[in-house]
Amino acid sequence: LLCRDIPQTINVRTMLGGGTNTKSSTVAAGLAIGCVTGALLAHVQHKRKSNQRTQEVESNDNVDDDMTFNPKFQIPKELLVEECPYKEELKLAIKLALQAGKNIYPHVDNKGTTSESTTASLGISSKSNDADFATTIDIANEKLVMEGIATHFPSHKVIGEEETGTGQPPVLTADPTWIVDPIDGTANFANGLPLTCVSLGFCVGKKPVLGVVYAPLTCELFLAVKGFGSYRNTCKIHSTSSKEEEALKTLSNAIVCFEFGSSRGEQNVKKLVSGMERILQHGCRCTRSLGSGVLDMCYVATGKLDVVYCGMANEGWKPWDYCAGSLVVEEAG
């Protein structure tokens, strides 16, 4: 056996009684070697488990760290060039998204384990119905983002999902305006499913010019700046591998994504199901419903999904559902 970090040297010869050659010594030798082997293997397994736990803790810490410490969250140099007009807004958006993601992580990570009891209550409150709700983390994240923007850019406007509630979103003006979804995929978040994210979009002249999406459980940071491309964890995104692949893509070999949203009226449900029925009858590779419209769009941008649709029956997305994600798609080409 070759092993590093054995806590002490074991003298096998001494354990064997000085190398005597009797039958009993042979049996003893076998037992001793078995004990030594078992001890060595146990130590190796212990070290492996210890190292694994250390790596897991370090990985979790990376989720909590800001862009200074995690290389995945560095700003690509292409977005820091002098010509890029939104560098300061981008830096702030990343910082706020990572901070909000830190609030999301513990509940989802602990869900269904003995550690769940240490997580603060979500304080779920319904909006239009039981399928449309917010948690205390949604509200805390939106407050964190709004205060951060007010501190650094006091003249900027902010449209937030939780502040808007069930009412109509404020009219978007030409003024610099942030559109905030503090937790996209709230149902996923509340139930401990990992596909949930923070979405921060920034508009100028009524059009999105910057988007930041952070999914803390999958450790993905999507960035997009108008005219400067979109990125996932510092790597530039392109939606298809080649022109040939793009030319061969049809509905029959596409992965189609949809979200039924919170609409529960009988006629609306019929329309939603009918739309999906027609797609299946036409033929597609498969369908998916991930529970996060923002991540749906980010995955369309990267080519992991081929199609996402909405707007069949009152489940059409609000500005905070698509502002940042739509720019990630657009800048991916």
Residue written as token pair 């199609």: 307
- Output the CA–CA distances (angstroms, integers) from residue 157 to 47, 86, 180, 193, in the order listed: 53, 16, 11, 32
Name the active-site residue from 142, 181, 220, 331.
Answer: 181
Contact 179, 323 (CB under 8 A): yes
Name the active-site residue from 259, 306, 321, 331.
Answer: 321
Question: What DSSP designation does 7 have?
Answer: S
Query: Is 64 annotated as catalytic?
Result: no
Name the active-site residue from 162, 184, 220, 259.
Answer: 184
Query: Is 184 annotated as catalytic?
Result: yes
Contact 307, 277 (CB under 8 A): no
Helical segments of 153-257, H only? 161-164, 186-191, 243-248
Name the active-site residue from 135, 186, 196, 302.
Answer: 186
Name the active-site residue from 161, 162, 306, 331.
Answer: 161
Name the active-site residue from 137, 149, 179, 183.
Answer: 183
In order, the DSSP letters of 31-73 are HHHHHHHHHHHHHHHHHHHHHHHHHHHHHHHHHHS-TTT-GGG
Query: Is 186 annotated as catalytic?
Result: yes
Candidates 248, 251, 229; CA nearest to 78 is 229
Query: Is 181 annotated as catalytic?
Result: yes
Residues noted as catalytic: 161, 181, 183-184, 186, 321
